[in-house]
Structure 1
């Protein structure tokens, strides 16, 4: 399998198995208390028993568990716990996305945005990003904002881009926080220039370790201090 392709979806697999299974922040993707088959699969995956996890995810997916559908798809696409099976993996990923699992919708869209396992199709990616972003999926919000900013898969629209960057920023995305800060610092595109708000967004990104945001925060702090009445 192409190494770059495997690396591209490996991160999504890690998110699917670790974060989505155990983090209540992804409410539509978490395990149900009665979903014992998927619980066992997650436990086996985290213990490194990939073959068993893959079989258990397959059985749970066949019973309609969205999380199992997604995780089984990712194991098939990445060739974990057995040989890779791209067509079958795409089928199960689409099934989870159609079942309204927002992270599956995001990953399915990212496949088309990046051209991983499919022909690149930014418009198809846009459709899936929009579905996930409209339900509050932060990574999809950022991806959608980037598409609007670049005019990729949709008409270029800086105002729409800003709206989605702001949503992703409010959801805690560091990159979106920096970009939202830059919109407020610059002004225009339907955004009223506001250095105090820009500084706050840069501070939020800096707190997550963005060195460029820290520099911007310090620069705006100095500028706002100079603007104070003497």
Structure 2
């Protein structure tokens, strides 16, 4: 599907998770911890008390808190509250990922997909994206879809790409909503062409501020209106 390539590449750059600041963001992606030390660490981190947050995350991580393991890893990787320690950061990130924390699995896969802190390995990235996506992690679903579309880390499979784009779209991802709309607009690869459904996905992306989706929605609305007005002879 060459018609998708340029748009997806540009959008992925915007949608990709940034490593910096991930520690503060993690609390929004997992259930709040019942561990008082982890909660205190999150509060200290958000207040800018990095040294205290680092110590508290470390202690909670050693006791097995996945959220603490993830946040401690991110602080080590980013050099927050301490000098950056990539090897130790990767170790704790892997612990959180192995403990089945979907966001840790996604970020671990993202490292391998980008070649950040590790050698680039799209196959390893695919393995971790799949683990996270199977738990409903929307960013992982999008990343997996992109891999299937490009044949990166796995065989190229547009049907699988569509499946994961649609899952991410239903999870509210603007990029996935646009691309899913494109699949329905064009049809093929097991997708029945349906301009009404395509327009609905474009509308969802447009509602989130995507100008290209807004233009597509307007174009399809006009096209469907014209088709409706053309009466059979």
Give the alignment's TM-score, normalised by structure 1: 0.91
Q: Which has the higher contact order (CA 8 A, sep 6+)?
A: 2
Residue 17 of structure 1 and its aligned partner are, at CA, apart by 2.1
Residue 30 of structure 1 and its aligned partner are, at CA, apart by 2.1
What residue ranges of structure 1 are gaps of 5+ in the alignment? 1-8
Contact 2:112 2:121 in 1 (8 A): yes
Q: In the aligned structure 1, how far is the partner of 2:23 from the partner of 2:164?
A: 23
Aligned to 2:154: 154
Contact 2:181 2:202 in 1 (8 A): yes
Residue 32 of structure 1 and its aligned partner are, at CA, apart by 2.8
Q: In the aligned structure 2, how far is the partner of 1:191 from the partner of 1:75?
A: 43
Contact 2:109 2:127 in 1 (8 A): yes
SS at match of 1:227: helix
* Aligned-CA RMSD value: 1.3
- Residues 146-170 of structure 1 deviation map (CA, whole Å, 9 limit, x = unaligned): 0000000000000000000000000
Residue 187 of structure 1 and its aligned partner are, at CA, apart by 0.1
- Residues 184-224 of structure 1 deviation map (CA, whole Å, 9 limit, x = unaligned): 00000000000000000000000000000000000000000
Aligned to 2:9: none
Whether 1:14 aligns to 2:30 is no
Whether 1:82 aligns to 2:82 is yes
Aligned to 2:3: none
Aligned to 1:5: none
Contact 1:31 1:38 in 2 (8 A): no
SS at match of 2:64: coil
Give the alignment's TM-score, normalised by structure 2: 0.89
Q: In the aligned structure 1, how far is the partner of 2:19 from the partner of 2:180?
A: 25
Aligned to 2:194: 194
Paired residues for 1:87-126 under 5 Å: 87-126=87-126
Q: In the aligned structure 1, how far is the partner of 2:169 from the partner of 2:17?
A: 24
